[in-house]
Structure 1
Amino acid sequence: MIRDARVLEERFIPKEIRHREGQLKAVRDNLKPVLEGREARDTFLYGPPGTGKTCMARYLLDELSKQSSRVKTGYVNCFENSSRFRVLYEVVSQIGSLLSVHRKGTPTDEVLEKLRDLVEENRCVLILDEVDKLRETDVLYSLARTSGIGLVLIANKETALWHVDSRIKSSLRLMESIEFPEYSRDELVDILQDRVKWGLMPDSAREEQLERIAMLAEGDARLAIDSLRIAAERSEQEGEEEIRNEFIEDAVSKAKEEIDSDTLEKLNEDQLTLYRILKEEGELEAGSLHEKYKEKVEDPVVKRTVRKYLEKLERLGLIETEGKGRWRKYSMKD
C-alpha cells in the first residue's frame, strides 16, 4: 500500500506548497535580493503548529540553493540548540567548515567571527525554527548585525519576540511578520490528496476517509499527515490494499500521542513531574504547585529553578499561566 514512506514523514518537502500562495510570494520576495548579491529582508513566520511554516521555509531554501551556488543556507531548531554558542556552531557547521571550530573549548565570539568570514563573499539565509525556545536570545542580535545574513524566524505565537531586549528589537525593526492561520478542512483534504498521490498506491484511500481525517485534525496538517501514515501502516500490516474506516479515529489518537510524546521526551524528570501534577490537578497557584512538587520528588530543586522549568513548559505550549507573582496560576493548555 505504501509506495514511498518518505512522503508521509514530517520532514518531507513537497513538490508544491498548497494553500499558502500569499505567504509564499511574500517570503520569496523578501529572499529574492540574495540572488542579486544583496541582503534578504528578515522575515518572521508565526501561526499554530501544523500550519506549514517550517515546510514552506525549507521549500524556499531548497529553491534558493538550486538557483544560485553562491547563496548559503542553514536551518537551526532553537529548541535543540537554545544557546548562543549552539546556534552559531550549527550555522557554521552547515554553511562552512568546522576544522577550526570545536564544540568544546572554542569561545563563542570566535565562532561568530568564523561565521562572518564565511558570509563575507556569499550571501546567507538562515531559518531559526522555534525561535521562542531560545534561552539566549542575544544570538538574534549577533546574527541580525552580521552583514550578509537574512533571517527567517519561526514561532507559534505573534508575541514570541515581544520580551526580547530592546537592542534585538531595534536590529529586527524592518522584519516583516507573516501569519499562517490554521488550514480549513477542504485545504487539509487537498494536502492529504497530494500525499496519497505521491506516497500510496492508487485507490488506497477514499475521499471520504481523507475528509474524516481532515475534520479530526482540526486545521493541523502535521496531525493530518501523521494520521494518514499511521492508518496506512496499520492497514498494510493487516494485509489490506486500502485504508480501513475503523482505523482512522485510532490513527488520529495515536498521531496526537506521538506528537505529545515528542515534546515530553525533551523534559527532565522534574519538568515531567510538574507537567503531570498540572495534568492531574487542572489548575494550581504557584505556591500550591510547588508544595505538591516537593511531595512527589526526593530531591526537589529550588523555587527559582521550578519557575524556569515552568517557563520552559509554557514555551513548549504544554501549559499556560495567568496572573503574576505569588498569585500566578498554572494550568494545562487546551
Structure 2
Amino acid sequence: MTHSPLLRHDQTLFRDPDVFEFTFVPDHLHHRDAQVQELAFLIRPARRGGSALSAVLRGPPGTGKTTTVRRLFREVTETTRQVVPAYVNCRHDRTPLAVYRSIFEQVHGYAPPPVGRHLDEIKRGIAARLRDHDAALIVCLDDANELIPAGTYNTLLYQILRLYEKWNVRKPGVFAVT
C-alpha cells in the first residue's frame, strides 16, 4: 500500500505565510483597542496643526507594543499628511547618525548620501521637509533600551524632542518602546 503525501510541494498548511514575517502588521489588533486609542490621542494634536505628544511603551517582549505602534503609524500614513511617522529599530540603529539617517529616509522616501553628510545637514533636511509640508514628526524608537549601553538614549531623546528649537518645526513626539 502506497501513501500519497499529505501536501504537494506547492501547498502549505498556512493560509497566509506572511504572518510569520517580522514586518507583518495585522489589520485588526485584538485586545489592543485601549492602547491604540491612547496612542492616537497623543498624535491627535499634530493632526490638527499642533505638536505630537510622547510616551514610553513598556512591557515584556512579544506582547504587541511594536505591532501596535506599526499599525497606528500605517493608519496615520494612510489618512493624513499632517503627521510624518518614523519607525527606528534601535537594535540596528544605535548611533545618532544612524537614527537620523533612518528618520531622514522615512521623511523623504530615500536615503541620504552614504558619506559626506554631517549630522546637522541630515537634521536640516528632515526639518526642511517637515516645514515644506507643514507636518509634525513622530518617532518610534523601538527597543530604545538598546540605546542605553550605546550611551545615546538621553542624547537622542533630547535632540529629537528639541528639534523645534533650532530648526523651526513643530515639536516632535517620541514613542520609546522598551
**TM norm structure 2:** 0.80
Kindly indicate whether the alpha-carbon contact (under 8 Å) linking 1:30 and 1:41 is maintained by their aligned counterparts in 2. Answer: yes
Kindly indicate whether the alpha-carbon contact (under 8 Å) linking 1:89 and 1:103 is maintained by their aligned counterparts in 2. Answer: no
Which of 121, 142, 156 is matched with 1:110 structurally?
121
Which of 132, 146, 159 is matched with 1:142 structurally?
159
Matched with 2:102 is 90
**Letter aligned with residue 116 of structure 1:** A
Matched with 1:49 is 61
Distance (whole Å) between structure 2 residues aligned to residue 53 and residue 88 of structure 1 = 22
Which of 23, 33, 42 is matched with 1:11 structurally?
23
Distance (whole Å) between structure 2 residues aligned to residue 21 and residue 143 of structure 1 = 28
What pairs with 1:301-320 in structure 2 (closer than 5 Å)? none
Which of 123, 137, 143 is matched with 1:124 structurally?
137
Matched with 2:177 is 154
Cα deviation 1:17-36 (Å, max 9, x = unaligned):
11123222211111112211
Secondary structure of 1:126's partner? strand
1:61: how far off?
0.6
Matched with 1:266 is none
Distance (whole Å) between structure 1 residues aligned to residue 20 and residue 143 of structure 2 = 22
Distance (whole Å) between structure 2 residues aligned to residue 109 and residue 82 of structure 1 = 17
1:97: how far off?
5.6
**Letter aligned with residue 126 of structure 1:** V
Cα deviation 1:259-292 (Å, max 9, x = unaligned):
xxxxxxxxxxxxxxxxxxxxxxxxxxxxxxxxxx
What pairs with 1:248-287 in structure 2 (closer than 5 Å)? none
Kindly indicate whether the alpha-carbon contact (under 8 Å) linking 1:88 and 1:112 is maintained by their aligned counterparts in 2. Answer: yes
Q: Which runs of 4+ in 1 moved over 6 A?
A: none
**Letter aligned with residue 94 of structure 1:** Q
**TM norm structure 1:** 0.44
Identity of paired residues, percent? 27
Cα deviation 1:150-181 (Å, max 9, x = unaligned):
211101xxxxxxxxxxxxxxxxxxxxxxxxxx
Distance (whole Å) between structure 1 residues aligned to residue 81 and residue 128 of structure 2 = 17
Distance (whole Å) between structure 2 residues aligned to residue 85 and residue 9 of structure 1 = 27
Matched with 2:42 is 30
1:11: how far off?
2.1
Distance (whole Å) between structure 1 residues aligned to residue 114 and residue 156 of structure 2 = 17
Distance (whole Å) between structure 1 residues aligned to residue 51 and residue 82 of structure 2 = 13
Distance (whole Å) between structure 2 residues aligned to residue 17 and residue 4 of structure 1 = 17
Distance (whole Å) between structure 2 residues aligned to residue 5 and residue 98 of structure 1 = 29
**Letter aligned with residue 123 of structure 1:** A
* Unaligned stretches of 5+ residues in structure 1: 156-334
1:112: how far off?
1.4
**Letter aligned with residue 29 of structure 1:** F
Distance (whole Å) between structure 2 residues aligned to residue 89 and residue 9 of structure 1 = 24
Distance (whole Å) between structure 1 residues aligned to residue 66 and residue 57 of structure 2 = 9
* Unaligned stretches of 5+ residues in structure 2: 1-12, 165-169
Larger Cα-atom Rg = 1
Distance (whole Å) between structure 2 residues aligned to residue 46 and residue 132 of structure 1 = 10
Count residues with an aligned counterpart: 154
**Letter aligned with residue 145 of structure 1:** R
Distance (whole Å) between structure 2 residues aligned to residue 77 and residue 125 of structure 1 = 14
1:98: how far off?
5.1
Matched with 2:75 is 63
Secondary structure of 1:76's partner? strand
**Letter aligned with residue 95 of structure 2:** S
